[in-house]
Amino acid sequence: MNMKYAAYEGTARRNWKPRIKPTADQLAAADRFKADGFAAIPPPTRMTAEKLLAIKQAVDRRFEEQNNGYVVNYGMFRMIDGIELIPEVIDFIDDDLEAIIENYYGSHFKIFAVSFYRTLPTPDKPDSSFLWHLDNCPKQEIKLMVYLDDVVAETGALSVKDKPFSDGLRKEGFFDRRRINRFVDRLGDTGTTRVLEGPTGTRLLFENGACIHKATSPQRDHRDVVTFVLIPSDIPWRPHFARSRNLLSTNAGICIDPFRDQPEHVGYQY
């Protein structure tokens, strides 16, 4: 699969024809993202306070209609048919973000999956995504997570270690989130942990297979996010999205064939 991704990445880079010339700030942001493995970006300028509130209210209403949606694991729920019900979240990918991501990849990109998640307090032992981990995915996959609430540490902000730190632990054998005994002290070091807080609409890019990270169980309220799984593309993201948008809510796991957009799983429980 890694060889298949490498071949597709080469094709995507050869076919890259940027739609707009990047600014110096966009190029610098792409370089920082590549070096650190994560980046926090404010909401798009066109996302007014009124529009952000309308999206937040729509998310609350849909989760209420679905009794919080599909249970992914303890404390985490996934909305059914999220992108079909709330299509306006696609506006979080604006020209600025497009330029940053394309210059990070050196190619166009496409959206493989779009998932809305609600995280509730877990008073008992945290599990799965609430443990420090790396996603088992091709290195070309990245995630764009958008906060749909005002998020601070107490309400479930994402915690992440930068790429250099994560590379070091991985070389020492870090892999299984349930076998971290010899890494506990360093993982628990707040000096190397970035807790990514932000108001509604904050966008987080991160290399989910390269940066050790974890979801944080809220101590109060809940945390709603929409997550876009991104991979390189041989065509621009907008026509690809128009052609495949009806599949993006149910695509799950990884894209096992980027040439054919073949999902590892289809459903909501992943």
Write the CATH number for 205: 2.60.120.620
Bridge-based pairing of strands 108-119 and 142-147 is: unpaired
Side-chain-facing half-sphere of 212: CA atoms under 13 Å: 26
Tell me whether residue 263 is in a domain: no
Tell me whether residue 266 is in a domain: no
pLDDT score for 216: 83
Tell me whether residue 265 is in a domain: no
Q: Which residues of the chain have pLDDT under 70?
A: 125-129
Q: Is 163 strand, coil or helix?
A: helix
C-alpha 139/C-alpha 142 separation (Å) is: 8
Tell me whether residue 101 is in a domain: yes
Output the six-digit token pair for 132: 């420090």
pLDDT score for 129: 65
- Give me the domain span that covers residue 221: 2-258
Tell me whether residue 94 is in a domain: yes
pLDDT score for 125: 60
Tell me whether residue 212 is in a domain: yes
pLDDT score for 85: 98
User: Which pLDDT tens digit goes with each residue over 56-83?
Assistant: 999 999 999 999 999 998 889 999 999 9
Q: What predicted TM-score, i.e. pTM, was given to this entire model?
A: 0.96
Residues contacting residue 113 through CB under 8 Å, at least 6 positions apart: 227, 228, 229, 248, 249, 251, 252, 263
pLDDT score for 74: 84
How many domains would you assign to the chain? Answer: 1
Terminal Cα distance for the chain, rounded: 20
